[in-house]
Structure 1
Amino acid sequence: MAKKRSVFDIDFTPDQPEPEASERFPAGNPAPDPAPQPPSQQPTRRGPMASAITETADAARGRAEAEAAIRAENDALAHEHVRLKKLGLITDLVATDAVRCSKLVRDRSKARDPELEELKISIQEIGLSNPIRVEQDGQGGYELIQGFRRLSAFRELHEQTGDPRYARIPAAMVPRGEPVRELYRKMVDENLVRKDISFGEMAQLALSYAKETGIKPHDAVSELYASALKQKRSYIRSFTRVLERAKGRIRYPEAMPRALGLELFKIIDADPILGDDLIAMLDRAPERDAEAEIAVLKDFVHRAPKIVKPRPKSVSKTMLRLPQPEGEARIAASDGRVELRLARDFSALDRARLQRAFEAFFEALDGE
């Protein structure tokens, strides 16, 4: 006997709206695109070679950017180095025996500096606070620009103590090729603040500078000592004139006191021929030292004729007013000077006519 099968009525109508196809797809599998994309828009899948090429290109680009940044930084550092070097702010330790003192004539006497021992003691106790200034000569050596006493102190300390610390000295690098005028000015301006440098030393340097540059000693003083006070430049010119007239016979200009140098200038300026007498007196003492030379100079001042000072000029004036066709002529007469003011162009007059007028003027003054 056959078994009867049970049948059930099942309602498949959902209570909610039917989900989209993408929502009905099983979890874990991507839903298919509702509309297939053309091949040009479909995502491409790169192979291992393409990935390696891309990574290599990215790495090369990164290296190029890093190298460009390094070059820019190096350029900036180089420009800063040049700027600091021009200012003399690049300092290094240089061997003292590599520094020469031949490019510039020193404004220091060749005689022993009595204050050098004090400088050496100061260097030993607290070191050197102010570097010397040198110029590289292009052959591994240096030319001294400033710091002759400091260099001398280091050399003597190394010779006396053998301490290797004094075999090298701090030095600021001056750029090569700087005009000799600027180098002299740097040396002189530093030394102007010293109290121990004499007018004789400054005058001797002015003469050496004038010879090297081909200018007059008077102009050499103006250039070298432009930052000095006017009165000081006047003293230096007086000493320069004395040394120039003595024709190198004065061996110890640094020992000459200011008052003695000015007296010598007054005598030679009033009568330049007396300079020959000064030379003769110096030549009669060939073995003289500084003290003996000063004695000779003082003897010359004592023997020289006394200079009669000119009487002071009168400061009074005589004022005249004369009517002329062009207007009123104003005349001011004083000691050694006559001044005429009139609204007329005297330069337009014929030279010969102007000369005749002045001749008549002097004849009228001198006549009775």
Structure 2
Amino acid sequence: MSRKRRMFDIDVPDMDGIPVGKAPDHVVPGRRGPMASAISENAESLRERQAAEDSIRAENDRLATEYVELKRAGMIVDRVPLDDIVTDRLVRDRKAGPDEDLAELKDSIRDIGLSNPVRLERRADGKFELVQGMRRLLAYRALREETGAALFDAIPAGIGAQEAQAQVSYRRMVDENLIRKDISFAEMAILARRYAEDPANDCPEVSEAVAVLYKSASYTKRSYIRAFAELVTRLDKVLQFPEQIPRNLGVDLKRRMDGDDGLVARIATAMRAEPGRDGAREVEILRGFLTASDGTLPAGKTDAAKPVKARQAKTTFQVPVDTGVAKCSASAGRLEMRHDVDFSSVDRRSLERAVAAFFAALEADAGSDSSE
């Protein structure tokens, strides 16, 4: 038995009548299952986490680059072992020998630590060359020797790359010292001489060395340094305490030497006659050659009508007391005493008793000397 096929008529609309590209008026959004929602939320979370990690990584890279740049510039402080620090490259402007004020610096470091780190340059052999902070380094070495504490085995320091030219390192050292009130013109002049004497610096003239090293100083100050450089050169083997020569005395002596060829020999003779002199006595001897004038001025002219007024001799000394060190200065009819004490807050009667005891002690010493 055969099946009959059923035929249906289908009306197919004309294709030309169908709009192309037209969006339906209303689209029912498809429903997302729980799995699809979870996957979408997880992907969004991963994108946010990746963005946060990229931001943190970029910030860390920026900070690391900044840290490296600051460290190369010597602006990051490290603790450097004292045994790794050398002082070979630069000639120091401090006179060698005991430093009377080093005790105060050690006390300060022991009490509150080092306020200002030293500056070093990293050498190729792993050592560090000192540029700034000689007294701070000496204080640390002394404290390590005295106390044996591990705290003083290393010193806070800013470390930079070693300069190709020593001149730049000298400038760093000198510019810091220019702001110090206790650096003398003689010490600055001696440094300029030694700089000029070093063939590696290619600067044979002392005047040129002064211009190079003390470029930051005023013209007047550089002229004083040049005057002291000539003074210490002429009296090189004679002076024992050139750092104690006041500015005006040194400049006046140099001018007097320019007009008096025999002055250097007379000063040398006077100095050799007192080999055991101290700094104050040496300054007193030098002043004598200005006050005991023969009427000849530095320019070669004479002025007999205007006698030179003699200056009073002055003795300076220090007295250790329980609260530190008292710095004293004595001259004719005058005694000055400086100490870290507010004397205005001390009771007047206590001051009177102290002064009376002082004069009583002087009179007792004078009486014992006369009886002998």
What 5-or-longer segments of structure 2 have no aligned partner? Answer: 13-56, 302-372
User: How many Å separate the matches in 2 of 1:127 and 1:16?
Assistant: 102
TM alignment of 1:344-363, pairs within 5 A: none
2:209 corresponds to:
220
Distance 1:272 1:95 in 2: 52
In the alignment, residue 277 of structure 2 is paired with which amino acid? R
Partner of 1:118: 104
Q: Work out the percentage of aligned pairs sharing the same amino acid.
A: 38
Q: Secondary structure at 1:223's aligned position in 2?
A: helix
Alpha-carbon RMSD across the aligned residues, in angstroms, is 3.3
The whole-number CA distance in structure 2 between the counterparts of 1:138 and 1:309 is: 52
The equivalent position to 1:163 in structure 2, one of 141, 149, 162, is 149
C-alpha separation between the residues in 1 aligned to 2:3 and 2:130? 119
- TM-score, structure 1 normalization: 0.59
Correspondences of 1:142-221 after superposition (within 5 Å)? 142-212=128-198, 213=201, 214-221=203-210
Corresponding position of 1:308: 297
- 1:316-348 CA deviation, whole Å, 9 max, x = no partner? xxxxxxxxxxxxxxxxxxxxxxxxxxxxxxxxx
Q: CA deviation at 1:200?
A: 1.5
Q: Give 1:197 deviation, angstroms.
A: 0.9
Structure 2 residue identity aligned to 1:170: P
Aligned pairs, how many? 250
Spell out the pairing of 1:1-368 with structure 2 (5 A cutoff).
12-14=6-8, 81=68, 83-84=69-70, 86-212=72-198, 213=201, 214-303=203-292, 305-308=294-297
2:224 maps to amino acid? Y
The code of the aligned residue for 1:207 comes to: R
Which residue identity is paired with 1:109?
K
CA distance in 2, matches of 1:274, 1:78: 62
How far off its partner does 1:11 sit?
A: 7.2
Note if contact 1:191-1:197 (Cα within 8 Å) is conserved in structure 2. yes
1:120 CA displacement: 2.6
Query: 1:97: how far off?
Result: 2.5
Query: Aligned partners of 2:270, 2:82: CA distance in 1, in Å?
Result: 42
Counterparts of 1:116 and 1:15 in 2: how far apart (Å)? 119
The answer to which of 8-17 and 143-152 deviates more is 8-17
For the residues of structure 2 that align with 1:148 and 1:94, how far apart are their CA atoms? 14
Q: Contact 2:163/2:169 (CA < 8 Å) preserved in 1?
A: no
Query: How far apart in 1 are the matches of 2:294 and 2:73?
Result: 53
In structure 2, the residue corresponding to 1:237 is in which secondary structure? helix
Distance 1:299 1:108, change over 3 A: same
2:298 and 2:269 mapped to 1: Cα distance?
26
Rg bigger for which structure? 1
What does the per-residue CA deviation read over 1:62-97, in whole Å, with 9 as the maximum and x for residues that have no partner?
A: xxxxxxxx9xx99x968973x545523354321113
Matched position secondary structure for 2:98: coil
TM-score (norm 2): 0.59
